[in-house]
Amino acid sequence: MRMGSSWKWQLSRAMRLALRWCRLCRLHRGGGGGGWNKSWIGRRLLEQWSYSKLLLKSLYYNSLSNSDTLLDCVFEPIYWIVDNVTRWFGVVFVCLVVLLTTSVVAVVYLFVLPMIFSTYPTHWIAWHLCLGHWLLVMIVFHYYKATTTSPGNPPKDKVHIPSVSVCKKCITPKPARTHHCSICDMCVLKMDHHCPWLNNCVGHFNHRYFFSFCLYMTLGCIYCSVSSRNLFLEAYNAVESYYQTPPPTFTFRETTAHKSVIFLWVLTSSVAVALGGLTLWHAMLICRGETSVERHINRKETKRLKEQGKVFRNPFHHGRMKNWKLLLGVEKRSHWITRVLFPSDHPPSGDGIMWDCIFTKRDPMAI
């Protein structure tokens, strides 16, 4: 039975129950029939009360339910609002990223690069041109690929696939490391999280693009913040002098340059700190062979096994260097340059359904 028809059936049963209550209340007000009628009404009221409790319990209880299931049912309207708001605001966040990145590039071209051309020697000019444009190309490429590449979904037309459970929402087999995204309303292979700044889930096929974008965007913000530091100090002192008496005479272009440089430095410094922390967090997860979802699951599993005197071992942790090679798709030394330091759209290792698991057999108490 589909969910919509089930809810309609429950609603109709509740309406019939309410009509029975009204009929019994009318009989009770009308009186008549003596003590036998009152006792019969009492029995009927008790039966209706027991039936109503059973009906209410059937809405949220079964042999597999617990307190978490009840809380999920209670907060389901809130989850629905948050999921739909996040889905629609994802477009706004993507436009905001594009707008802010474009504004930073425009300020650099209009005010920072002219200062570099007029004051720096030739070799430093070449260095800034190469480094800045390399970071810009890497940021644009990886952001575009992260937003447009599907994270990967389990095949719905194939029933016989390696799976560890069945998704309660999709009612389809769920392979290892696959989780359901309530915002995208689908299961995602090796799901890390849903990123509103990408308006996309981060999963098996775009995890590398997401991390590379975070890394190169952090490096680009650090580069802009450091290279424009002297300009920022000059612009800040100039803006403070606006309030002197008499105020200094600055042209419109000069005042625009002062405000633009301050905007550039504050924005890039703030993003470097915030995004840098997020990048370090994901780098730590990659070193451990975990995703953001698996981090919470593994912590609970570690605590549970510790109470039993056992040690939890992540079956997808192949060692730090091997984890990085699997994520970045590095198969030989030259790939560190061609696939990491330059734009590359090569697919990740594996299909996201079958995974190589490493189990240590030396420790009999390890799980």
Amino acid at 139: I
Is 195 an active-site residue?
A: yes
CA gap 241, 229 in Å, rounded? 19
**Of 184, 187, 195, 221, which one is the catalytic site residue?**
195
Amino acid at 73: C
Rg of the Cα atoms in the chain: 31
Longest dimension (CA), the chain: 110
Amino acid at 45: L
Q: What share of the chain is helix, strand, coil (3-state, %, to 5)?
A: 65, 5, 30
Amino acid at 60: Y
Residues present in the chain in total: 367
Contact of 279 with 214, CB cutoff 8 Å: yes
Contact of 172 with 154, CB cutoff 8 Å: yes
Where in the sequence numbering do the catalytic residues fall?
Answer: 195
